Structure 1
């Protein structure tokens, strides 16, 4: 994911002037600013964002900060409780439902794709549910079959409704990225499209319906939704942009409204910092999974990787490990991590402007939030 993002940044360096005048910063007035957090959030925007928001929950209470603007060409502040597309953080919700089904004895991690989706993928008898969850299936990533920014053709699919079976067919028309399954790690959205279909096969209900029933409603995540084919972000939110080449130069195009079925079970969700912090804390606190399945989630896909079964982790400079995930929905990017003891929860979301890659600045911000 980050490799693709950096390539996009390189291709759109000419956008620097467009967003340079957008910098504005604010911390929530009624809450005391944490030392250094606001500056680190401002640094993220300075590197490559139109606007950003952050929520930190810890023993001192709740701190919310914003930086930049909610819409290019305006001074409108980023809503500190605003909604955003969470991208691949959706995968953590999907993985949680899959593991709940495992805990109920309705599914096994060693079940194969062929058992549940006969004929859906070549050699599906060799690919397990575990490998779909931890990106070791070797399946070609559906996302790589599509035109991407800054190519103008990217916009041709903006309103298109995608069906998971069609997406999988496009992916498996390409050879596996490695053999045999389970031998390597390579990120693939295709695996999560298949997991969404497997959830439907097991339960008789859509993966979105199961996430709603099993996670969103019990945790009262009131601002979290799976929009399906609806292009809108309901409630307060920042505008999101993608770079598109026009007359030889990339220009930012408002991409706030789009048909999210292209992301499906791999990334369609909309949420808020508050809801994501609540979800990750509940997950790590054992409210959604028994301990042995949470341990499975925390087991790395391959040695040296910081990704398990739909769950990622970061090791900070102070030796604290934080679990969660990050997501890239092109016009929106998000990070949500919580310490294992749940004493500190941090979510960051931004709308990139593609002047530069904000990853390092976000890592520094997260480190500051977790280590002080």
Structure 2
């Protein structure tokens, strides 16, 4: 396994990613690898133990924290969110949208991101966007209630409970407010105490400030070729995504977390079954995917499934996946994002990095997966 994984990881680096690192489990055998640099200016190498912003992998942690409250009787999955947060989702909408609909993105609530970052207002019409807001908001401290308000007043993406749902970070900011409402502590503290610490994760946190503490890579954002050369956004206030995508972790911690989750040790087996019950959802990239309660499945040729989640932040990306039997686990972190150029209509053009990453996924998961369509 080691030689093929080393080669596959190097291929991703040579395809254009400055640096990446990963950990793969195959039963009791564990491989860790790194390729490339953490800093293109100094040539400082990446290492497999680096901490990294993992983006929307955070959603799995937040969903698990919510399901724990369901198990304790503090929340009802099928209760209207208006019962708990009437001022944030008022009126008939608040009565029609349930907690479950927030977790599986069938609420019909729009994404707030274009409104929080004005120069991204054409998103997802990528050809019409500009990266200027990324610099403007490096140190902006966003109020989650204000962000939620942007998503709630925006035109709905569908009727509550309708499918396909539409992936929206607004849903997970609301889940953060929901956790605060029923636990009396902040969502960060709830997720830290009930999920991160419960799983024994030593290098995982929801950061209070814009810095990544400990050894880490710079994070290079290309914004579809509009930032050339790619610019470092490793120092960034993550209040713009909070419990939707702000987590810092390591590939080892992610593999441990997903292993415990699928073993029924983070939430109960019945809650895990709910997490693995999926509906069709349109991802932020416009792809139709299956989505559960904070988990994303991929069919494996010959039977079985791979479960996990992917995520991106400005300049960084992460993918974590685990086979249904728990024997195969893979987490990988890359320090470049939005490397694809756009055609005149704004569609993503293929890039060698895409094929190289897909090949690494196949190698890591034993050639049993056709690749993970990432809801980012």
Distance 2:354 2:362 in 1: 12
Q: Per the alignment, do residues 268 and 353 of structure 1 end up closer, same or farther by CA in structure 2, a change over 3 Å counting? A: closer
Q: Secondary structure in 1 aligned to 2:309? A: strand
Task: Show the counterpart of 1:281.
Answer: 259
Shift of 1:360: 4.2
Pairing 1:197–2:177 present = yes
RMSD: 2.1
Q: Secondary structure in 2 aligned to 1:306? A: strand
Task: Show the counterpart of 1:136.
Answer: 106
Distance 1:361 1:135 in 2: 30
The answer as to whether partners of 2:101 and 2:160 remain within 8 angstroms in 1 is no
Task: Show the counterpart of 1:95.
Answer: 63
The answer as to whether partners of 1:284 and 1:340 remain within 8 angstroms in 2 is yes
**Mean Cα deviation higher: 87-96 or 180-189:** 180-189
Q: What pairs up with 1:240-259 in 2 under 5 angstroms?
A: 240-243=219-222, 250-259=228-237
Task: Show the counterpart of 2:243.
Answer: 265
Distance 2:110 2:224 in 1: 27
Task: Show the counterpart of 1:207.
Answer: 187
What are the ranges of 5 or more consecutive residues in structure 2 without an aligned counterpart? Answer: 121-128, 282-287, 341-350, 368-376
Distance 1:34 1:225 in 2: 30
The answer as to whether partners of 1:316 and 1:367 remain within 8 angstroms in 2 is no
* TM value normalised by structure 2: 0.84
**Mean Cα deviation higher: 304-313 or 290-299:** 304-313
Task: Show the counterpart of 2:143.
Answer: 163
* TM value normalised by structure 1: 0.85
Task: Show the counterpart of 1:236.
Answer: 215
Shift of 1:317: 4.2
Q: Secondary structure in 1 aligned to 2:166? A: coil
Distance 2:45 2:184 in 1: 43
What are the ranges of 5 or more consecutive residues in structure 1 without an aligned counterpart? Answer: 1-32
Q: What pairs up with 1:115-154 in 2 under 5 angstroms?
A: 115-122=83-90, 123-145=93-115, 146=117, 147-148=119-120, 150-154=130-134
The answer as to whether partners of 1:320 and 1:371 remain within 8 angstroms in 2 is no
Q: Secondary structure in 2 aligned to 1:219? A: coil
Distance 1:199 1:307 in 2: 21
Pairing 1:41–2:9 present = yes
The answer as to whether partners of 1:334 and 1:349 remain within 8 angstroms in 2 is yes
The answer as to whether partners of 1:184 and 1:302 remain within 8 angstroms in 2 is yes
Aligned residues between the structures: 338
Distance 1:221 1:367 in 2: 27
Pairing 1:349–2:333 present = yes
